[in-house]
Amino acid sequence: MSHRLSQNARHTNDLLQELERDKELEVLREYLTRFNLFPRTRDPASAPIRFEELKELVKHWKLHRQRNFWKTHTTKEDLVRTLYRHINTKIIPQEGRDDVATPAGS
C-alpha cells in the first residue's frame, strides 16, 4: 500500500500553502498601511510587499532587539512568519483589551 500523494494532491497542497501565505501577507499589509511603512510612490493597496517594508514593521514593533534576530530571520518568509505570529499572539489580543477598556459609547 503506497502512501505517496498523487500529482493532483501535491498540486492542491501547494495551492493551499500559497493561499495561506497570501492570507498572511494581507494581514501584514493592513499594519504596513496603518503605520505608513510603504514608500510614498507606491499604492499600499496593491503594491507587492517587499523585504524592506517587512524590516520596517519589525523595527516598528522593536522585534529586532531580540538577540541574533537578523541572523535567524534572513528570508522574507522568515519575517512574514514571525510578524504574523507576533500579530496573532501580541497585537490582536492587545487591541481586544484596548477595545474593552474604551467602550464605543464614550
pLDDT digits (tens, 9 = 90+) for 46-90: 999 999 999 999 999 999 999 999 999 999 999 999 999 999 999
pLDDT bucket at 103, cuts 50 / 70 / 90: low
Tabulate helix, strand, coil % of the chain (nearest 5).
65, 0, 35
pTM above the 0.85 mark?
A: no
Residue pointed to by grid coordinates 474593552: 100
Identify the pLDDT of residue 104.
54
Residue 97 placed within a domain: yes
Supply the range of the domain harboring residue 58: 7-101
Distances (CA, A) of 102 to 89, 91, 94, 95: 21, 16, 12, 11
Residue 2 placed within a domain: no
CA distance 90 to 31: 13
Residue 81 placed within a domain: yes
Q: Into how many domains does the chain fold?
A: 1
Residue 21 placed within a domain: yes
Identify the pLDDT of residue 51.
96
Residue 106 placed within a domain: no
